[in-house]
Amino acid sequence: MADKVDRRLLYVLAAAVGIAAVVVAGGLIAERLSDARARAERYETRSRALRKTLLPEADLARERDALDRRVARLRARYYRADEISPYAFGGEVKKRLRSAGMTVARYQIMESKGKSFLEFAVSGRARSFLQFLRDVSLQGKYWTIPSMTVDARAGGDVVEVVFKIGYEVIDETGH
């Protein structure tokens, strides 16, 4: 009789342990499942939000490259500080004036607001001076003419011109 009671108690204990194990395992499984689902939902929401705001990277890269090329092209039209001096620049201007057929009466180097300019007094045919201006406009670097007086009252096709001419310099930072 005692054996029977002991055996029954053993069965009840085993059943209780089994049920407890199943409940604990079930709880752990449910917890892991719930965690995984919550994680999936969180990342799905995040991805959805990112997709809504995401700009096409390839298009942006193309636009950036185009702007980069444009900036490089614009910066290439400036002289670097060590690339030229007022004397070399004056020689180049003089050469181009003569090449266009203008006669240089006088010229001088001037400083204004930290920039060097050359003031030229020249004469020649109006067409020749326009040719010179065209050369200045089409050559690769920026040459600037801040002031100029052209007098064509002498008659014929002859003009007398006094003008200031300089060049644009850019530093490493682009200023």
Partner 1 sequence: MKRPSAFLMTRPDFVVRDIELPPVPEREIEGLIRYRLRSLYPGDPEETAFDYALTRAEGSRRRGRRAIVFIARKAVVDEYKAKAGRRPLALPFTLLRRMALREGSMRAWVVDGTWAEHILFDDGAPVSSVVKIYGRGEAFDLSREDAALGPEIAVGPPILAASEEALAASPLPRDAQAMPLERLLLGLRYEDGIFCGRSRAARTRAASRIAGLSVAALVLGILLALKGIATAESRADDLQAQALALEKSSANALSLEKDIERLKAESDRLAAATPRDAYLLFSALYRTLGDDARIQSVAMQDSGFQVDATGSNALRSMERFKEHPEFTGMKLAQVVPDAKSGRERFTFSGTFNGR
What residues make contact with partner 1 under the rule CB under 8 A?
A: 1, 4, 22, 25-26, 29, 32-33, 36-37, 39-40, 43-44, 46-47, 50-51, 53-55, 57, 60-61, 63-64, 67-68, 70-71, 74-75, 130, 133-134, 136-137, 142-153, 163, 168, 174
The torsion angle over the Cα atoms of residues 79, 81, 83 and 86, rounded to 10 degrees, is 90
**Is 91 or 146 the residue whose CB approaches partner 1 more closely?**
146
Q: Which two tokens stand for residue 135?
A: 């050369």
Give all strands (DSSP E) within 30-153, no chain letters.
Answer: 79-80, 103-112, 115-125, 143-151
Closest distance of CB 147 from partner 1, Å: 5
Please answer whether residues 162 and 152 qualify as being in contact, where contact means their C-beta atoms are separated by less than 8 angstroms. Answer: no
**Distance in Å, CB of 82 to partner 1, minimum:** 20
- If DSSP codes are grouped into helix, strand and coil, which group holds residue 169? strand
**Minimum separation from the CB atom of position 87 to partner 1 (A):** 21
Terminal Cα-to-Cα distance of the chain (whole angstroms): 105
CB 165 within 8 Å of CB 122: no
Q: How far is the CB of 150 from partner 1 (least distance, A)?
A: 4
